[in-house]
Amino acid sequence: MRTRTRKKPVDRQRAERMIARGALFVVGALAIGALGGWTKRVRAAEDKTALDPRRVARQFGSLGDQVLAAQGETALAKVQLERANAVIDYSAKYQIPADLAADVYDVALSEGIDPSLGYRLVKIESDFQRNARSPMGALGYTQLQLTTARFYDHSLTEQKLLEREVNLRIGFRFLKDLTKQFDGDTHLALLAYNRGPGRVAQILERGGDPKNGYSDAVLKGYEPPRTVAETQGGWR
């Protein structure tokens, strides 16, 4: 049994403080700049002549645009903070480096998979080991057979399939496709991921039960998103 050394997860509180301060700085600077610029223009106008209503309207319009921009920066900062918090949590939970936690999170979202499910899949398949190889020749984080992966990219080699993003992306895409094939049934999709979709479909056609404990292991402690808003597009 190999002994592996994990990198220490990032300091959660320190990361949160840095991101929060950066967000407040951006929003504050934009708001102060917008208000300051408008005030200067108004004062300059007052020093010369009575305010032109059309000029005032333009100035208010410009100020409104800048405020909206500041609000957009606030929303972006909030999303970035939520992502950072999630990555920190998963890094600590699974005792994996922050960059790996971030890649699993980002690739899962981009492929329409709940990140929590993505982490569980990688944990069960490879225990987050990049060079994991099964006796059947399944490779990498998501333990893909090269023949299966080549359905998505005909040019793949074993070395390419071991690359982190490639392996995660194809593995999550395969699981997403299986979820669609089995009408949103996550248990069946996972069983098909483990046993092969043809084998699972054959067992179901005969009235059998394809369960072998795999889907239960992946879903142990997993809580699916409760609303469409939480799912970034409604995975099941």
What pLDDT does 56 receive?
A: 59
Beta bridge partner(s), residue 133: 139
- Name, in order, each residue with C-beta under 8 angstroms of 105's C-beta and a sequence gap of 6 or more: 83, 86, 87, 90, 115, 118
Quote the pTM value: 0.68
28 within 8 A of 93, measured Cβ to Cβ: no
What pLDDT does 50 receive?
A: 53
For residues 174-185, b (16+ Cβ closer than 10 Å) or e, as one string?
bbbbbbeebeee
What pLDDT does 193 receive?
A: 98
Beta bridge partner(s), residue 139: 133, 144
- Name, in order, each residue with C-beta under 8 angstroms of 74's C-beta and a sequence gap of 6 or more: 23, 27
What pLDDT does 64 receive?
A: 67
- Chain segment 37-82, per-residue pLDDT in tens: 444 454 444 444 455 666 656 666 666 667 667 777 788 888 889 9
Identify the active-site residue in 125, 163, 165, 205. 125
What pLDDT does 157 receive?
A: 97
**Low-confidence residues in the chain, pLDDT < 70:** 1-65, 67-68, 226-236
What pLDDT does 226 receive?
A: 64
143 within 8 A of 129, measured Cβ to Cβ: no
- Neighbouring CB atoms inside 10 A of 212's CB total 12
What pLDDT does 161 receive?
A: 98
Rounded to an integer, what distance in angstroms lies between the CA atom of residue 119 and that of residue 115?
Answer: 6
**What Å distances lie between residue 228 and 16, 113, 157, 212, 235, CA to CA?**
26, 13, 37, 30, 8
What pLDDT does 16 receive?
A: 56
125 is catalytic: yes
